[in-house]
Each structure stands twice: as C-alpha cells, then as structure tokens.
Amino acid sequence: MQVAIASDHAGVELKAALAEWLIARGVSLRDLGPQDGQSVDYPDYAKRLGDEVVQGRAQKGVLICGSGVGVSIAVNKVAGVRAALVSEPLSASLARQHNDANVICLGARIVGEAMARACVQAFLDGEFDPGDDGRHQRRVDKIAAVRASSTP
C-alpha cells in the first residue's frame, strides 16, 4: 500500500516522526512536504495530498496541521476524498470501517506522537465494512452524491 503524508509548518515535526516510524514498519511512503518549519499555507498541501489519493498514486493519506481542522476542511474539498479528523484510534478505525475514509487528519498540537502513531496504525489496519445490509456503502454513496450535486 502506498501512503501519502503531508503537513503544514505546525505539523512538520510530527510528520517527520510518523514518516520515520512508517518507513521503519515497511510502509511505502510519499512525503509531500514540507521538509522544514517555515510558514506554509495548509490548503496547498491538503490539495496536493488529496490529488495523490484520488489519482491513485497513494491509497491512503495522512495530513497534519496544528489542530487538524484546517487540513480536514481543505482536503475534503477534493472530490473523491473522504477525510476524517481523529484524535484517538477508535475514531480512526471507525472512519475506515463505516465511512471508507481514505485520509485521516491529525492535530499536532492536540495529539502526541504516541497517540498519532496509534491513530495512523488503526487507520491503516482498518478495512471498510459495507454493512450486512449495505448501510455503510449506501451512506458512502450518498456522500459522493452530495459532492456531485452541489453547486459552487
């Protein structure tokens, strides 16, 4: 599985730590930057990561900013992205299981490195379950329909 990771300046240290940890675990990683703590605009990195996921260059994505809120709002504007802002592993797992999330967002000022690792692990290990009656798939389809039917 190819995983993309990106952040803004507030998340660059957590991103670097997660990238090192993921690579050590054998994950094929695409680090989309930034590489230093100079101020950047998080929507640029969110779009870059979202495009990587929807174009199939990465199957999943991890985005980090100070709170996680900004990147989650921005990346969810990319058609085909289903991003979840998480701060603990159960939400990360359920985002995969029930919502077929393909991106998780983390707040570097909210979660520590150990909790971030636990969230990423739960996200990457999680699998989508369409539901025995198809309810989760139906809801994911409705999410896509909302995007397709909305007007700018």
119 catalytic? Reply is: no
Domain housing 74: 2-149
136 catalytic? Reply is: no
What pLDDT, in 10s, does the model give residues 115-129?
Answer: 999 999 999 999 998
Query: What is the pLDDT averaged over residues 14-31?
Result: 98
CB of 108 closer than 8 Å to CB of 99: no
Reading phi first (left if > 0) and then psi (alpha if -120 to 50, else beta), residue 33 is in left
Q: Which of 98, 105, 119, 136 is catalytic?
A: 98
Q: What is the band of 143 on the pLDDT scale with cuts at 50, 70, 90?
A: confident
65/125 Cα distance (integer angstroms): 23
Check whether 102 is labelled as a binding-site residue. Answer: no
CATH number at residue 83: 3.40.1400.10
7/40 Cα distance (integer angstroms): 9
**pLDDT (0 to 100) of residue 151:** 66
**pLDDT (0 to 100) of residue 130:** 86
Check whether 67 is labelled as a binding-site residue. Answer: yes
Residue 141 pLDDT greater than 90, yes or no: no
Total domains in the chain come to 1
Check whether 135 is labelled as a binding-site residue. Answer: yes
